[in-house]
Amino acid sequence: MGIKGPTTEQLLDMYAAMWRIRLFEEQAEYQSGQGKVLGALHTYIGQEAVGVGICAHLTDADYITSTHRGHGHCISKGADVRRMMAELFGRVTGYCKGKGGSMHIADFAVGMLGANGIVAGGFGLATGAGLAAQVRESGQVAVCFFGDGAVNRGPFHENINLGAVWRLPVVYVCENNQYAQWTPQEEITLVTDVASMSSAYGIPGAQVDGMDVLSVYQAAGEAVDRARRGEGPTLLECKTYRFHGHNFGDPQQYRTKEEISDWSGQHDPIQGLGDHLQREGVLTAEEAESIRNSVQEEIAGAVRFADESPYPGPEELTRDVFSTPVA
Amino acid sequence: MPSIPMNQAIREALHEEMARDSSIFVLGEDVIAHGGPYAVTRGIAEQFPDRIRQTPISEAAIVGTAVGAALCGLRPVAEIMYVDFITCAMDEVVNQMAKVRYMFGGQTDVPVILRLPSGSARLIAAQHSQSLEAWFMHVPGLQVAVPSTPRDAKGLMKSALRGRDPVMFIEYKRLYSVKGEVPDTEYVIPFGQADVKRQGEDITVVASGPMVGKALEAARILSAEGIELEVIDPRTLVPLDTDTIFSSVEKTNRAIITDEEVRRGGSSAELASRIAEECFDYLDAPVRRVAAADVPMPFSPVLEKLAVPSVEKLLAAARDLVA
């Protein structure tokens, strides 16, 4: 296999990062109910192992592109939860000065090239990031996160073909959570194992249990190493499940409560890693609780920061359309 | 000054700027094979072999990749073989390229140039002859440049290649082979500066692209009749040099807007309404528009000639305005 690690330190970081995503989003849903978080909110809860397991192989110099369900990717890549929460609150201290909201959080300083409200919108951006890395021979890697719904859009085909034929340092990561918004994948796609589509592009494909962060870590390590060695893209499919609705407030009439509780009860990725770490003697129950509490405080601090931040002033309306004001 | 055709002028701008700035990167369909159908990128592969790539026929990937590369430090110049094919990538143009700066709160520059061969030429009918400036003008975040001469094309391309924002660079195919004088010394033409191509007292004609030449021809004919046209070429529609246009209208009190886009919802509609809003007190007559017929471009030369705005239509509009 050849993928070393994760080290104990990485394991603990991944455990904390998954809690950071979970608690950030639980708080965001609560604050949405309070009218503080504004607009649409698509949570990543249940899928935490994917972003965390993959970004464990990346540095701030590497790039990721994301989806409308982007909070988990932001946090996995190292974005600051305070500026994220402020963005959800529509405040000027947010990552996008309150001009983006949940679906457009970006942090270019850590290589996070933005959540994206267009399904399949990240393919071109990640492929282009890979092109820039290749042209400059920088050794950087770009990861494109996308859902099973995006597979049926043209940019999936056009960009994976281009990335493959140019051998770009890109990893295309399908987070197959089995629903394109409200529609089950098998109703709209005969080939439900997305990894198998890699053969159409002449690149390796791999499928892993996306609820198991260690499996994701292992497969991602191979794909990222391959990209860094200049051998081109991999199509990595992580089978996963979102525990909450498509968006906050989704009545979820398209799936059963039993299905949801089976996944969240039997396959919770945080529970899974916590149990593993305790079995291995890496973490005690008390230490696990302490990590969770510490993240909880961090999120509470983010809410305070957001709540105390001002809204953007009217001068922000016309700023940033271009680099300089334009008639 | 040497006289060269417009495709060569753009090629010179690319060569000179690529020598100056190693981040400029050219991509597009067949851009190496023949330098594209209009030979604009011919010779770049020989001089800069690592900085030009021929793509699959995948417009969405061309534009998406160009935007992604621009976010990560390159200055991509993508040729879309015909502007008509940009429709296959309008998602990437409208939802990514135009918006990433604003919706990410100004975190990034987006120095992408899309080169867009446009307009009627060579009788290639409805899917290879369009002029889509107004579509692009309507989307906040896109700059729209429309050179009418080799000199302007080179200077505007050099500005575009030094800028930080996306540019829809409209290249009229009919003008590629038309020669004009180009300075052999270094120069750039800033965006947002209209050029008064001819001074006149009686009617302001705001003309873009291939209609600049036709407006100048109409001006010569009308001058013999004692009607003097002032021909203003905006050169960029976004940003738009309204100062030059409005001062001219304040002087002449009459205005004609002309371009090769179809008339309904064309850039002429925006310009006419801006003049009506800002110069109403100075106008002695309604603003006129001379644009293409509201039809898909027909194939037969007899019909194409009827669809594309002509010198004769400009003459008729001008004579009517001063009657």
Return all residues near B158 (Cβ < 8 A) that are at least 6 apart.
B13, B16, B17, B187, B188, B189
* pLDDT for position A4: 81
Q: Is B99:B58 a contact under the CB 8 Å cutoff?
A: no
CATH classification of B8-181 is 3.30.300.180, yes or no? no
Map residue A252 onto helix, strand or coil: coil
Maximum Cα–Cα distance for chain B, whole Å?
61
Q: Is B180:B162 a contact under the CB 8 Å cutoff?
A: no
The closest CB to that of A125, out of B55, B67, B74, belongs to: B67
Is residue A121 scored above 60 in pLDDT?
Answer: yes
CA–CA–CA angle B144, B150, B154 (5° rounding): 60
The closest CB to that of A155, out of B61, B104, B238, belongs to: B61
**In this complex, do B64 and A129 lie within 8 Å of one another by their Cβ atoms?**
no
DSSP strand pairing (B236-238 vs B203-207): unpaired
* pLDDT for position B115: 98
Half-sphere exposure of B194 (CA within 13 A, CB side): 27
Q: What tokens appear for A218 in the block?
A: 């292992």
**In this complex, do B96 and A125 lie within 8 Å of one another by their Cβ atoms?**
yes
Distance between CA atoms of residues B12 and B309, nearest Å? 31
**Start-to-end CA span in chain B (Å):** 41
CATH classification of A8-316 is 3.40.1010.10, yes or no? no
Question: Tokens 């001009």 label which residue?
Answer: A99
For A9, the enclosing helix (H) or strand (E) is helix A8-33
Question: Number of H helices and number of E strands within chain A?
Answer: 11, 7
CA distances from B68 to A76, A103, A123 (A): 20, 18, 9
The ipTM of this complex is 0.96
Give the single-character DSSP code of A31: H
* pLDDT for position B243: 98
Give the model confidence (pLDDT) of B161-194 as tens digits. 999 999 999 999 999 999 999 999 999 999 999 9
Give the single-character DSSP code of A99: S
Residue in chain B nearest A113 by alpha carbon: B71
Comparing B8-181 with B195-322, is the CATH topology the same?
yes
What is the 3-state secondary structure of chain B?
CCEEEHHHHHHHHHHHHHHHCCCEEEEECCCCCCCCCCCCCCCHHHHCHHHEEECCCCHHHHHHHHHHHHHCCCEEEEECCCHHHHHHHHHHHHHHHCCHHHHCCCCCCCCCEEEEEECCCCCCCCCCCCCCHHHHHCCCCCEEECCCCHHHHHHHHHHHHHCCCCEEEEEEHHHCCCEEECCCCCCCCCCCCCEEEECCCCEEEEECCCHHHHHHHHHHHHHCCCCCEEEEECCEEECCCHHHHHHHHHHHCCEEEEEEEECCCCHHHHHHHHHHHHHHHHCCCCCEEEEECCCCCCCCHHHHHHHCCCHHHHHHHHHHHHC
A107: nearest Cα among A33, A55, A161 = A55
A125 CA to chain B: closest CA distance, Å? 4
B308: nearest Cα among B320, B316, B319, B299 = B299
* pLDDT for position A327: 62
Distance between CA atoms of residues B110 and B75, nearest Å? 8
CA quadruple B261, B112, B10, B46: dihedral sign:
negative
**In this complex, do A125 and B71 lie within 8 Å of one another by their Cβ atoms?**
yes
* Region B127-154 average pLDDT: 98
Query: Which residues partner with A173 through β-bridges?
Result: A145, A236
Backbone angles phi, psi at B302, to 5 degrees: -65, -45
Following CA atoms A156, A157, A163, A169 in sequence, which dihedral angle do they give, to the nearest 10 degrees? 30
Map residue A57 onto helix, strand or coil: coil
**Mean model confidence pLDDT for chain B:** 98
Crossing angle between the packed helical segments A122-136 and B59-71, to the nearest 10 degrees? 60
- Scan residues 308-327 of A and list those with Cβ closer than 8 Å to B: 319-323, 326-327
**In this complex, do B69 and A320 lie within 8 Å of one another by their Cβ atoms?**
no
Distance between CA atoms of residues B191 and A176, nearest Å? 46
Residues belonging to chain B: 323
Q: Which residues of A touch B56 (CB under 8 A)?
A: 158, 161-162, 165
The closest CB to that of B240, out of A104, A114, A327, belongs to: A327
Interface test with A, best of B104, B109, B159, B165 (most A CBs within 10 A): B104
Question: Can you name the CATH fold of B195-322?
Answer: Rossmann fold (3.40.50)
**In this complex, do B60 and A106 lie within 8 Å of one another by their Cβ atoms?**
no
For A238, the enclosing helix (H) or strand (E) is strand A234-239
Distance between CA atoms of residues B19 and B142, nearest Å? 26
Return all residues near A146 (Cβ < 8 A) that are at least 6 apart.
A67, A119, A120, A122, A123, A156, A172, A173, A174, A175
Is residue A2 scored above 80 in pLDDT?
Answer: no
Return all residues near A319 (Cβ < 8 A) that are at least 6 apart.
A325, B106
* Region A217-233 average pLDDT: 98
Cis-peptide, bond into residue B239, ω within 30° of zero = yes
Distance between CA atoms of residues B105 and B97, nearest Å? 14
Is residue A14 scored above 70 in pLDDT?
Answer: yes
Give the model confidence (pLDDT) of B38-71 as tens digits. 999 999 999 999 999 999 999 999 999 999 999 9
**Mean model confidence pLDDT for chain A:** 97
* Region A22-40 average pLDDT: 97
Distance between CA atoms of residues B68 and A143, nearest Å? 12
**In this complex, do A108 and B239 lie within 8 Å of one another by their Cβ atoms?**
no
- Reading phi first (left if > 0) and then psi (alpha if -120 to 50, else beta), residue A63 is in beta
Is A97 at the interface with chain B, CB within 8 A?
yes
Is A132 at the interface with chain B, CB within 8 A?
yes
Residue in chain A nearest B73 by alpha carbon: A132
Distance between CA atoms of residues A1 and A39, nearest Å? 44
DSSP strand pairing (A183-184 vs A179-180): antiparallel
Q: What tokens appear for B1 in the block?
A: 């000054």
Give the model confidence (pLDDT) of B208-257 as tens digits. 999 999 999 999 999 999 999 999 999 999 999 999 999 999 999 999 99
Distance between CA atoms of residues A115 and A113, nearest Å? 7
Is A233 at the interface with chain B, CB within 8 A?
no
Is residue A326 scored above 80 in pLDDT?
Answer: no
* Region B121-136 average pLDDT: 96
Crossing angle between the packed helical segments B150-162 and B6-20, to the nearest 10 degrees? 30
CA A7, distance to chain mean position in Å, is 22
Interface test with B, best of A322, A324, A326 (most B CBs within 10 A): A322
* B128 is an active site residue: yes
A229 CA to chain B: closest CA distance, Å? 19
* pLDDT for position B71: 98
Is residue A1 scored above 80 in pLDDT?
Answer: no
The closest CB to that of B109, out of A125, A323, A326, belongs to: A323
